[in-house]
Structure 1
Amino acid sequence: MAKFSISMTDRMAQTVQRRVEQGDYNNVSEYFRDLVRRDEEKQAAEDRLRDMLDKAEASGFSDMSFDDIWNDAEERYLKRQAAKHG
């Protein structure tokens, strides 16, 4: 397992220690592992969003109104739900 040594302000250190003392984390290492996991999840979500935006941009524009697009999506959703619970 890798080890790191980090420097932080006193205020930040107090925040970390308070979270451990409150029982939110068992120890300081657990706190930082949670931060890294959350950052990984955030990065993955941003990557998925970026990919969806790229695909949307590449697909071009639609002549459909927002309401038409919404209704079409809702209809497809309801059909999938009906088939799923069928």
Structure 2
Amino acid sequence: MNISLPDDLRAFADAQVSSHSFASSSEYVRELIRRDRENAVVREAVLEGMRSGEGSEMNADYFRTLRARVNDPS
């Protein structure tokens, strides 16, 4: 796969490669694609949660009860 970039984007990508210790611009692009894929999974999970129905209020009591459930060994 070959990707053409305008000069300003190429300069930015080159700077990212240098400043973040990527071995090459290809490694940088692979990392961007991995992050985008992970973001897509998170976005889908959020949308699925929104479609699942009415939510509940998440206040201090909610988190106190949740912590108690997590910490109860039974």
Q: Which TM-score bucket, shorter chain as reference?
A: 0.7 to 0.9
Q: Which has the higher contact order (CA 8 A, sep 6+)?
A: 2
Listed as ranges, the gaps of 5+ residues in structure 2 are none
Higher helix share: 1
Q: TM-score, normalised by structure 2?
A: 0.79
CA distance in 1 between partners of 2:42 and 2:67 (Å): 26
Moved over 3 A (4+): none
Query: Counterpart of 1:79?
Result: 68
Please say which structure displays the higher CA radius of gyration: 1
Give the alignment of 1:1-86 within 5 angstroms: 4-56=1-53, 59=54, 66=57, 70-84=59-73
Give me the CA root mean square deviation.
2.4
Q: TM-score, normalised by structure 1?
A: 0.70
Aligned length: 74
